[in-house]
């Protein structure tokens, strides 16, 4: 035993010698830069598509870890006037009794980002949800490789890639501009409000996107599987209403202009179109592809299902309205953005149509939203904002349109570029739902306070 102990300093020296090269490589990774990356802190606000810098110098493999954390305190009240909305216990709760809510903290949410500069102009991203309302356990959001340069020699390729970006993998579909401003699990630092839109156009799909940018003008073509996850099954279900088991890819386009008119004025306008003529299996999820959940917890949700209280993860999308276009969809969105010094104006008009595999008639949904934000103080570290959002839609089984309106007032304070404290007052009203629907006469209002960290 004594002899072995005397060798301990030698073993430690040998281990240190072995670790030194790894430590040297780690230092190089930390010093090297990941190019064309949207920052995960305050400096990433109002960045839409990833920046394009063809002059970035490649100094070797670079690995960057980042994260987003959120913690909310909610004080919301809700009510409805639907039939069968009584009961004070799970045993006595009727079918349309709303889930009972009280002031309290929501489950913390966290995202983990890994970005790797693999080669000159070639970047890898993998994003994971560590904790979210819909999935409390860890889920991988997706991963992709982005090419701002290609490893082919020649003047043609050099000139082409000065204006072109190629993205391949499983990624957040670039339909519309709102998804760049919404809260995504723990990543809430870009959003001056608590939530995204009522009709939430957000999903991740497997495929590719090609971007062309020049002189403030941009265009994009995307082709994906149309599904939120991989699926190569040959057994596709059919229904009496729809005997077509064929699955088509989703094709979507985007074009617009994004320019600084002066040091104090910036304008952006974009138009987006998304199409899928036939999906099978798990179906299309453009308006239901979020794996995290809403930041309004358990409002306007049924208390019981099949005689038992619903789990919070099963009712994770409170306050949203999914039109249910899971078989066929055509969606079009217009977005406008204006920034004049500290004042920002962002608007959206969206129209969509489609149906599910149990239907034969096409239904429509329209959405309008406008929000104004004023940023002030040192480095615009304080802000106040207001938003109005309206959705009018024909839901499956309905013969008339329903509508949902939301009004929100918000304010926030960036203690640093990485730390944000914000609060919001919100009121949302549900109109024209039949009295057998738990959303009939529904409304909720109150405030939510949120602490955010992003780096």
Mean pLDDT, the chain cut into blocks of 10 residues (455 residues total): 43 39 44 84 96 86 95 97 96 95 93 96 96 88 95 90 96 97 97 98 96 96 90 62 77 97 96 92 86 95 91 92 95 98 98 92 97 96 98 96 98 98 98 97 98 97
Q: Would you call 347 exposed, middle or buried from its count of C-beta atoms within 10 A (0-12, 13-18, 19+)?
A: middle
- Tell me the three state secondary structure of residue 143: strand
Which residue is associated with the tokens 């060798």? 7
Q: What is the CATH number of domain 62-454?
A: 2.40.160.10
What's the rounded Cα separation, in Å, for the pair 59 and 71? 37
At residue 63, the pLDDT reads: 95
What's the rounded Cα separation, in Å, for the pair 258 and 240? 47
Contact 226, 284 (CB under 8 A): yes
At residue 22, the pLDDT reads: 40
Tokens found for residue 375: 């940023």
What's the rounded Cα separation, in Å, for the pair 227 and 338? 33
Residues with Cβ within 8 Å of residue 59, at least 6 apart in sequence? 28, 31, 32, 33
DSSP annotation string for 369-434: EEEEEEEESGGG-EEEEEEEEEEEE--TT-SS-EEEEEEEEEEEEEEETTEEEEEEEEEEEEES--
What's the rounded Cα separation, in Å, for the pair 69 and 132? 10
At residue 280, the pLDDT reads: 72
What's the gap between Cα 316 and its chain centre? Answer: 14
What's the rounded Cα separation, in Å, for the pair 354 and 394? 10
**CA 420 vs CA 45, 71, 193: distances in Å:** 12, 11, 12
Tokens found for residue 32: 């090297």
* CB-based burial, 21-52: b 16+ in 10 Å, e otherwise: eeeeeeeebeebebbbbebbbbebbbebbbeb
Residues with Cβ within 8 Å of residue 330, at least 6 apart in sequence? 273, 274, 275, 352, 353, 354
Closest CA to 448 of 416, 406, 417: 406
At residue 307, the pLDDT reads: 83
What are residue 287's phi and psi, to 5 degrees?
-105, 15
What's the rounded Cα separation, in Å, for the pair 66 and 69? 10
Contact 349, 297 (CB under 8 A): no
| Entry field: residues in the chain | 455
What's the rounded Cα separation, in Å, for the pair 373 and 364? 30
């Amino acid at each position: 035993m004594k002899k072995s102990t005397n060798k301990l300093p030698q073993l430690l020296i040998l281990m240190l010698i072995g670790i030194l090269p790894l430590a040297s490589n780690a230092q190089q990774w930390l010093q090297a830069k990941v190019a064309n990356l949207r920052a995960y802190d305050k400096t990433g606000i109002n960045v839409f598509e990833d920046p394009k810098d063809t002059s970035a110098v490649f100094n070797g493999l670079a690995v960057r870890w980042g994260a987003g954390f959120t913690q909310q305190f909610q004080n919301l009240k809700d009510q409805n006037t639907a039939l069968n909305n009584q009961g004070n216990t799970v045993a006595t709760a009727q079918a349309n009794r709303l889930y009972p809510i009280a002031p309290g903290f929501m489950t913390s949410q966290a995202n983990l980002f890994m970005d790797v500069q693999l080669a000159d102009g070639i970047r890898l991203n993998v994003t994971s949800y560590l904790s979210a309302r819909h999935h409390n356990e860890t889920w991988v959001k997706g991963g992709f490789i982005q090419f701002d340069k290609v490893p082919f020699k020649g003047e043609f390729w050099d000139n082409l890639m000065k204006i072109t970006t190629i993205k391949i993998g499983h990624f957040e579909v670039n339909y519309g501009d709102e998804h760049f401003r919404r809260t995504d699990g723990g990543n809430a630092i870009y959003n001056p409000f608590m939530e995204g839109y009522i009709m939430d156009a957000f999903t991740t799909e497997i495929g590719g996107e090609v971007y062309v940018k020049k002189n403030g003008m941009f265009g994009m073509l995307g082709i994906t599987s149309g599904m939120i996850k991989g699926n190569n099954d040959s057994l596709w279900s059919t229904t009496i209403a729809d005997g077509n088991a064929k699955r088509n890819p989703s094709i979507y386009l985007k074009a617009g202009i994004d320019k600084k008119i002066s040091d104090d004025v910036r304008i952006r306008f974009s138009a987006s179109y998304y199409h899928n003529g036939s999906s099978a299996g798990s179906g299309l999820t453009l308006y239901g592809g979020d794996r995290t959940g809403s930041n309004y917890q358990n409002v306007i949700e049924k208390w019981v299902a099949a005689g038992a209280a619903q789990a919070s993860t099963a009712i994770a999308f409170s306050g949203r309205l999914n039109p249910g276009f899971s078989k066929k969809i055509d969606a079009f969105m217009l977005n406008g953005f204006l920034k004049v010094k500290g004042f920002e104006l962002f608007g959206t008009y969206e129209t969509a149509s489609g149906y599910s595999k149990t239907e034969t008639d096409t239904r429509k949904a329209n959405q309008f939203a406008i929000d104004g934000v004023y940023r002030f103080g040192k480095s615009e570290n304080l802000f106040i904002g207001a938003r109005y959002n309206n959705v009018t839609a024909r839901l499956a089984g309905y013969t008339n349109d329903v509508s949902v309106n939301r009004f929100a007032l918000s304010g926030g304070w960036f203690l640093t570029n990485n730390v944000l404290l914000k609060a919001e007052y919100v009121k949302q009203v549900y109109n024209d739902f039949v009295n057998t629907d738990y959303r009939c006469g529904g409304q909720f209002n109150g405030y939510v306070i949120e602490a955010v960290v992003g780096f």
